[in-house]
Structure 1
Amino acid sequence: MNTNILQNKVVVVTGGSSGIGRAIAINAARHGAKAVVVSDISPDPREGGVPTTDEIKALGVATTFVKADVSKKEEVDALVEAASEFGGVDVMVANAGISLKADGPDVSADDFRKLLAVNLDGTLFSAQAAARQMKANGKKGSIVLMASMGGLSGAGITVAYSTSKGGVVLMAKSLADALGPDGIRVNAVAPGTIDTHLLRTAPGIAEAAEGFRLRTPLRRLGQPSEIGDAVAFLGSDLSSYVTGTALLVDGGLLAVI
């Protein structure tokens, strides 16, 4: 579905080459964004196909790719600065995140720190850089952080991941309070079981996905584009009085488990 709810807005998406991030970036263009800045470690989708920026250009929307490791503050700062070419960021989507092949109660210290560096540090750096630019430009923007159903309900196979995403939920609430006086809204989106390459290949999660589907009231997995639509809503003026919330997009799964 194409709309104009993001008309005249410059959208920045981290982790935008693949999966949910790719869908968020492409949907931003479909929802009328003025420009979309896509960032990731590599421009090429993990699951193959053309780069996200090619898809956006085909929709007639201005775009650029910026390589960035979100765990490095200086690279995130440079990424957000790249949005100045289009007039500065209006909607910042801190989507970049990783999971671990060996998560659980015995997660190693090195793996735990690696995950937190991306999922928490990178999310904070993204929000900070966007907020600074929004304030400098006098923009009442929207910052959307990517949480997870696993950040609202724990699981033995995702001890580190759930810990990080629970932190993202509280980060959104805290930043909403801090940035609200400047007119900057901060929210999180918490996806449930979404049909992505990551879901199909992550140990433990892939095996559990069918059980999740059968227990989900809608009896299906979510699509990446449905997360993209939720992000577009939170980035748009339709959600002008929504801040500090974690929008659960899980087909009703957490309502029944």
Structure 2
Amino acid sequence: MNTNILQGKVVVVTGAASGIGRAIAINAAKHGAKAIIVSDISETPREGGTPTTHEIEAFGVPVRFHKTDVSQREQVDALVEAAAEFGGVDVMVANAGITLRADGADVNEDDFHRLMSVNLDGTLFSAQAAARQMKARGKAGSIVLMASMGGLSGAGMTVAYSTSKGGVVLMAKAMADALGPDGIRVNAVAPGTIDTHLLRTSPGIAEAAEGFRQRTPLRRLGRPEEIGDAVAWLGSDLSSYVTGIALLVDGGLLSVI
């Protein structure tokens, strides 16, 4: 469904070439964004198909692709600076994240640190860069961090991932307190089992997905665009008095397990 809830807003989305990030960026266009900056380490979608920028161009919305490794602070700073072309960022979506093939109690130290550098460091750098630009321009704004159902409930097969996403939930709460006086809202979105290429190719998670679907009150997996709609709401003025929350979008699964 197309709306105008993001009309006049410049939206920056990290990890937007594929999966949930792709849906968030495309949905921003559907919801009337003024301009969208698509960020990822590669413009080619993991699931195949046309680049996210091409999909957004079809809506007549100005869009730019900016190659970014979010674990590198200077690259994130350059990404946010790219929004200056359109008047500065209004909605920052720190979506970039990775999973590990082996992520149990014996998770490899190097793998653990690599995941944290993207899922936690990259999220912090994204929020900080956006906040600096918003404050410098005297703009209120919305920063949306991508958490996970796994950041609210642990699982033995996702030790590092759950740890990182639990950190994102608390980061949103702490940053909301720090930035609220400047009119900057910070929230997290916690997706449940969403039907993405990442889910289908993640060992353990892929095998568990059918069991999750059967136990979910709505009896289906979530769609990436449903996360995009939740992010759009948090980025819009419709949620103007909402900050510091972790919005669970899981079809009710955590209510019953």
Report the TM-score range of the alignment, normalised by the length of the smaller protein: over 0.9
5+ residue gaps, structure 2, are: none
1:157 match: secondary structure = coil
TM-score (norm 1): 1.00
Matching residue of 2:139: 139
**Residues 241-252 of structure 1 aligned to structure 2 (within 5 Å):** 241-252=241-252
Uncovered stretches (5+) of structure 1, i.e. residues with no partner: none
The question of 1:74 aligning with 2:74 is answered yes
* CA deviation after TM superposition for structure 1 residue 54, in Å: 0.4
Residue identity matched to 1:165: K
- Determine the C-alpha separation between the residues in 2 that align with 1:83 and 1:140: 15
Percent of matched pairs sharing the same residue: 84
SS in 2 for 1:89: coil
For 1:199, the equivalent position in structure 2 comes to: 199
Query: RMSD in angstroms over aligned alpha carbons?
Result: 0.3
- Alpha-carbon distance in structure 2 between the residues aligned to 1:45 and 1:207: 23
Determine the structure 2 residue equivalent to 1:213.
Answer: 213
Q: Once the 2 structures are TM-superposed, how far is the Cα of residue 131 of structure 1 from its aligned partner?
A: 0.1
1:184-239 CA distance string (max 9 Å, x none): 00000000000000000100000000000000000000000000000000000000
- Deviation digits for residues 83-127 of structure 1, max 9, x if unmatched? 000110000000000000000100000000000000000000000
- The residue number in structure 2 matching 1:112 is 112
Counterpart amino acid of residue 150 in structure 1: G
The whole-number CA distance in structure 1 between the counterparts of 2:101 and 2:68 is 23
Aligned counterpart, 1:6: 6
Q: Compute the displacement of 1:147 (Å).
A: 0.0
SS in 1 for 2:158: helix
Please report how far the alpha carbon of residue 7 of structure 1 lies from its aligned counterpart in structure 2 after TM superposition: 0.2
Matched pairs, number: 257
Q: Which amino acid aligns with 1:220?
A: R
SS in 2 for 1:74: helix
C-alpha separation in 2, matches of 1:173 and 1:129 = 17
The residue aligned with 2:20 is 20
The offset of 1:163, in angstroms, is 0.1
Report the Cα distance in structure 1 between the residues aligned to 2:240 and 2:251, rounded to whole angstroms: 24
Deviation string 1:18-73 (CA, Å, 9 cap, x unpaired) is: 00000000000000000000000000101111100000000110000000000000
1:30 alignment partner in structure 2: 30
TM-score (normalised: structure 2): 1.00
